[in-house]
Chain A
């Protein structure tokens, strides 16, 4: 541990020997943590390592089974979130706590200490905080209609306005694009200057080096390392978390086959995402197409159209030689579907075993895949779903493991013809994420047409043969992987060349316009 000034330790949030057990799961085992004011403290670990649990205990949302906590030496045992807030500890949970029906302003007022609302005063305070944090988010629309990124930032702003001296952020960057992450980290640094302590939970290890001062590594509920972040490379952190990782497999050259899935001039509307405007797209057998774009650019609408869940207003959708397929036709022809919102694809009350066999049972014996009768348990083990117990209810798994379960149902029971995946490794630890990427590559190699949308550009560059960028419901640019650079993609995601280019041809998309400030949305 680095030496700290007595002033800093004087205000530090300290937890000692914290333990927490859920049924048979030891989520935390004798964990210590010291969060210093004015620093960013990164908390990393595999899925299910106990990060969120520790954070919730610090924020008073859950009570520890054992252990003590102090703030500046004084005992700290919050019995609920309000008590923690009163001591200056605030949290933005992994699952955002904004009420979608209410605006940010109302979310703020929701737990104000006064019985009568003072909207004007609250608005002034929040605007002021926004200004200081240099963010522009609408305070008065229902937060449901904000993008994920804005909700994330908005919730952070609300927490700040509530007067946090210790702010805990649980995976704030999991669904943010590179611009947004950059902006967020600037804010965090600015906050630290002002003396706020920040606990940052993340799976993106490069972020640790980029922003954190201290780092604590959890593994299986135990603290396996803590110390200054500067001394640690992402590789080292990864090794601490999960042991040695095999390097990502070399990209094998893939030759695309026939077009399997095709959209032509498709327009479609969505009430949660951008509408599609004349989107044309082909996915060929054996290739991986990456879709980049900031949140709310229409990726969800695109995925829904491809999966048959949204009926387009215009244009044609075709799989093989079948026009206007319904969702069930697509399933029968082997379209695997990994939605962005994993809860869309899982029924919490179904057991893991029933979840895996859902398609066979529900669509009847004429199942989509000639399925080798592998038993559920071995599928679960293959995909490292923990615990691999087919009789458990799906709703009982941790977020990361639910994702693995979903992927194992979609990819694990046969060889799909098409794979549609949006953020397939969102919220997964390194090893699990790598395993899923390998599955996607394997699917492509065995002839599947794969379409992956992700906010993680790194991931797309690693996987894809071709990258499309979506902006405002259109395909704004398209490049073969060899021509892609982060800068080009970043500019296209911000819409900087979309106005002039109505074609998706890579040359025009990249060369036509000089960005002006007026093009900024």
Chain B
């Protein structure tokens, strides 16, 4: 395989990973707080639609903001129904996904009825850093992307900093690990949980808009193509940490990009093999990380075995 091909694969990987990173960071907050959002797919696709719709008359930035608000509203709905009214988290997640998929298609069909050319909006302009962008292999991948890609990077760093340096991050972890104790300590688990869900929703909406406004410039039904579910796998694979999630998303993006472009080489395998390749590898990585995590988990306990490293010093 040529260097051009690898450059293309890398650049494609980063584009494909961007929405996964953004939605994954959001879901990372949600799962860290002990909740689960199975509605990401619905939030993403409705965000993807609303982004194009709003951007078509109000511009790119308004489109992005509208998509975030869309995800936020769906997340607020989910919070109300699940955590206030006591509905089942999984059922509601599936319902939100159904709603998002249905509503986005419905509104799209009304907006662009048969016989009209699809509405397209300008996508976010790509960066061109001249010399840097011209570096072979990594130049286009690292320095020739749309600002949304760099936005995702900033978000990942921000999420990392929130967990590392803020009380909120600590409270999220505490609420997820042990809500009863956290509440006894004076943290409000419901409030923290709701906040993470809203963050998760807003980022899922944004992730959807990154697909339509970042690379396509138009909406078409089912454009998210199951990415909302992949996000769940990536979050677990990344052990719910921002860095892990970013790596997991990049890995999936790379696998997808690779299996798309490997088809254009001389290696001819059944196309279905290429299509399932990213999922199969993700499963394998999931197995490896689960196993490693298990070992690490046990290892940590063996090392700091109670009664050995610590000792009470009676006065």
Chain A interface (Cβ < 8 Å from any Cβ of B): 61, 80-82, 85, 93, 95-102, 106-107, 109-112, 114-117, 134-138, 141, 145-147, 149-150, 153, 179-180, 182-183, 186-187, 190, 269, 271-275, 294-297, 472, 520-521
Contacts and interface: CB of A to CB of B under 8 A. Distances in A.
B305 interface: yes
A138 B181 contact: no
Contact of B187 (A98, A110, A274): A110
Q: Which 5 pairs of residues, A with B, have the shortest CB-CB distance?
A: A296-B306, A97-B184, A296-B307, A101-B177, A183-B314
A109 B315 CA distance: 27
Interface stretch (B51-59, B103-111, B163-171): B163-171
Contact of A138 (B174, B301, B302, B309): B309
A153 B205 CA distance: 46
Contacts of B181: 95-100
B182 A99 contact: yes
Interface string B145-171: 000000000000000000001111011
Nearest to A180: B312
Interface of B: 165-168, 170-171, 173-174, 177-178, 180-182, 184-187, 297-298, 300-302, 304-315
19 contacts: A85-B186, A97-B185, A98-B181, A98-B185, A99-B177, A99-B185, A102-B170, A110-B170, A111-B187, A112-B167, A135-B312, A179-B314, A182-B314, A183-B312, A183-B313, A271-B301, A272-B301, A295-B307, A472-B308
Contact of A116 (B165, B185, B300, B306): B165
Nearest to A176: B312
A423 to B, nearest CB: 16
A426 B282 CA distance: 48
A101 B307 contact: no
A135 to B, nearest CB: 7
Contact of A101 (B173, B308, B311): B173
Contacts of A97: 181, 184-185
Contacts of A521: 307-308, 311
B173 A102 contact: yes
Contact of A296 (B180, B187, B297, B305): B305
A149 B312 contact: yes
B307 A61 contact: no
Given A99-B181, A110-B174, A271-B301, A147 B167 contact: no
B313 A187 contact: no
Nearest to B175: A99
Contacts of A134: 313, 315
Contacts of B166: 115-117
B312 A81 contact: no
A61 B182 CA distance: 12
Nearest to A82: B186
Contact of B306 (A102, A107, A136, A145): A145
A152 to B, nearest CB: 10
Nearest to A112: B167
B173 A150 contact: no
Contact of B310 (A110, A137, A187): A137
A117 B312 contact: no
Contacts of A269: 302
A107 B171 CA distance: 9
Given A81-B186, A97-B184, A145-B304, A136 B171 contact: no
Contact of A110 (B167, B180, B308, B313): B167
B167 A116 contact: yes
A137 B309 CA distance: 10
A274 B310 contact: no
Contacts of B297: 271
Contact of A294 (B170, B173, B300, B307): B307
Contacts of A116: 165-167
A112 B308 CA distance: 31
B170 A117 contact: yes
Contacts of B182: 99, 110
Given A81-B185, A115-B166, A117-B165, A110 B305 contact: no
Contacts of B168: 115
A402 to B, nearest CB: 16
Contacts of A180: 312, 314
A295 B312 CA distance: 11
